[in-house]
Amino acid sequence: MHKILVSRCLLGHRVRYDGGASGPFDQLAVWLAEGRVVGLCPEVAGGLPTPRPAAEIPGGQGAEVLDGQARVLTETGEDVSPEFLHGAHLALEQVRLHGIRIAVLKANSPSCGNLLTYDGTFSGVKVAGEGVTAALLKRHGVQVFSELELAEAARALANLPA
């Protein structure tokens, strides 16, 4: 049975930067019941507390953080890149451990966003880009979806070879 990496906040765990959670989501509940879900919050796993200051990537590109060309900063300018990078690598460890090929991660997050991230100005502006964890997982062949794409994730899961 194929496992799926899922952001813990989408599972109702109160690990978001503001201490909140997202969800519930029916599809995730089905996968939980089937024993498919491996839950992880890369930011908490990487060593950040809950709640924690909001963080963004100036330019919005997690791949640039992976390559050392950008940083993840809080609104006060604190560099939290090491924690974000550590959490991304812990997510990759789970992917390798469980043979995961599909992830459902929190939309727009500087860790988990798969299509859009905030631009680093803390003004609510989103740009096309990926969070640090999403970018790392994609580099290693994982299909990354958000909670807004659960039907697509379910189709991808159904199409994986046995």
CA count, 13 A, side-chain hemisphere, 143: 16
Domain residue spans of the chain: 4-158
pLDDT, tens digit (0-9, with 9 covering 90-100), for 102-145: 999 999 999 999 999 999 999 999 999 999 999 999 999 999 99
Q: Is the pLDDT of residue 23 over 90?
A: no
Residue 162 has a pLDDT of: 82
- In angstroms, the CA 81 to CA 89 distance is 12
pTM above 0.85, yes or no: yes
Q: Which pairing describes strands 102-105 and 73-74: parallel, antiparallel, or unpaired?
A: unpaired
**56: three-class secondary structure by DSSP:** strand
